[in-house]
Amino acid sequence: MQTILLRQMQKGQSGTIQAVKVGGELGRRIREMGLIPGTQITIHGRAPLNDPVAIRVMNGTLTLRNSEADYIQVEVE
């Protein structure tokens, strides 16, 4: 078990969100999409230029920029 940033996760890797370290509009957008501590996520893929990243969460697919993923800490196996 170790905690890494969402940006560092590999394609296909799964993990549980530990913390979302950002407030304001970005923080709220991230949270309202279901990215809150305790949520299971899987990296679905990355765009052709490696950014943004697409993740599977709660039965849906979300995409966010790497710069936004940097605020999300994930606990991985």
Partner 1 sequence: MTSQSIIALAGNPNAGKTTLFNQLTGARQHVSNYPGITVDHKEGHLEHKGTGVIITDLPGTYSMTAYSVEELVARDYLISHRPDTVINIVDASNLERNLYLTCQFLELGVPLVIALNMIDVARDRGIEIKAEKLSELLGVPVVPIIARSGFGKEQLLDEALAIASQRRQWHPRDISYGDDLDAAIADLMTTIESSSFLDKEYPPRYTAIKYLENDEQILQKGRDTDLTTATRLENIVNKVCEHTVKTLDVYPEAIIADHRYGFIKSILRQGVVTHKFDTDRLYTSDRIDKVLTNRLVGPVIMLAVLFGVYQFTFAWSELPVAWLENFFGWLSTRVDGILPDGQLKSLVISGIIDGVGGVLGFVPLIMFMFFSIAILEDTGYLARVAYMMDRVFRTFGLHGSSVMPFIVSGGIAGGCAVPGVMATRTLRSPKERMATLLTVPFMNCGAKMPVLALLIGAFFSENKARYMFLFTMLAWIVALLAAKLLRSTVLRGAPTPFVMELPPYRFPTVRGLLIHTWERTWQYIKKAGTVILGISVLLWAMMTFPQLPAERLAGFDRERQTVTAGYPATVVAELEQDAGELSSRAAELAGQLTAIGRRQSEEALRHSAAGRIGTAIESVSHLAGFDWRTNIALLGGFAAKEVIISTLGTAYSMGDVDIEAADSLGDRLRKAENWNRVVAVAALVFIMFYAPCFVTVVCIAREASWRWAFFSMGFNTVFAFVLAVAVFQVGTFLGLG
Which residues contribute to the site for partner 1 (CB under 8 A)?
A: 19-20, 23, 25-34, 36-39, 42, 44-52, 54, 57-65, 68
CB of 4 to partner 1, least distance (A): 18
Query: Which residue, 42, 62, 41, is CA-closest to 52?
Result: 62
Cβ proximity to partner 1, 1 vs 49, nearer residue: 49
CA angle 30, 32, 35 (to 5 degrees): 50
CB of 72 to partner 1, least distance (A): 11
Which CB sits closer to partner 1, 9 or 64?
A: 64
Closest alpha carbon to 76 in 34, 40, 31: 40
What's the min distance (Å) between Cβ of 36 and partner 1?
A: 5
**CA-based diameter of the chain, in Å?**
31
